[in-house]
Amino acid sequence: MRISARGRYALAATISMATRYDTGDNITVISLSESLGISKIYLEQVFSLLKKAEVVSSQKGAQGGYRLARPPQDISAFEVLWATDLSLFEEVGDTVKDHAPGIEAAMRISVFDAVDSAVKTTLSGVSLKTLADEMKKHRKDQGYMFFI
């Protein structure tokens, strides 16, 4: 499955924000861009989309920045990608002329809609909290990676 860089950046950034959610601090785009190794200017555009979708809220000015609009367990990967990855949720256009009645409907019902539904269900079942926890399991400096 192709997932755009924009969507992946959004996911990485919001996961990172989820780990710092309880502090209540604003998080700046530049700090995220540095810790993730992503272009700051591009990440700004990603956050513009996340704000429009009400995944994050913002505060302008000095000491400003972004915060998750809701607790991490209430934000799903679906919301983040929906806001940022266009091709993932693009409408499938018509394929054939109506010389072939029924083919269009069959494809739509049994394939396209079925896939869309499966993807949506999968993404909706994963929260930023889940992802942040999963992330902690995989950091290399966690401490329970040792040898006897």
User: Which residues here bind a second copy, judged by CB under 8 A?
Assistant: 1-3, 5, 8-9, 11-12, 15-16, 34-38, 77, 87-90, 92, 95-97, 99-107, 109-112, 114-116, 118-119, 121-123, 126, 130-132, 134-141
Separation CA 59–CA 51 (nearest Å): 11
Min dist. Cβ of residue 61 to a second copy (A): 27
List Cα–Cα distances, 24 to 14, 55, 62, 74, 91, in angstroms. Answer: 14, 15, 16, 16, 38
Instruction: Please enumerate in sequence order all residues whose Cβ is within 8 A of that of 54, keeping only pairs 6 or more positions apart, or say none.
Output: 69
116 contact choice in DNA, a second copy, none (CB below 5 to 8 Å, kind-dependent):
a second copy
Nearer to DNA, 90 or 141 (CB): 90
138 contact choice in a second copy, DNA, none (CB below 5 to 8 Å, kind-dependent):
a second copy
Is residue 138 at the binding interface for DNA, with CB under 7 A as the rule? no
For residues 18 and 131, the answer to whether their CB atoms sit within 8 Å is yes
Q: Is 41 helix (H, G, I), strand (E, B) or coil?
A: helix
Nearer to DNA, 63 or 142 (CB): 63
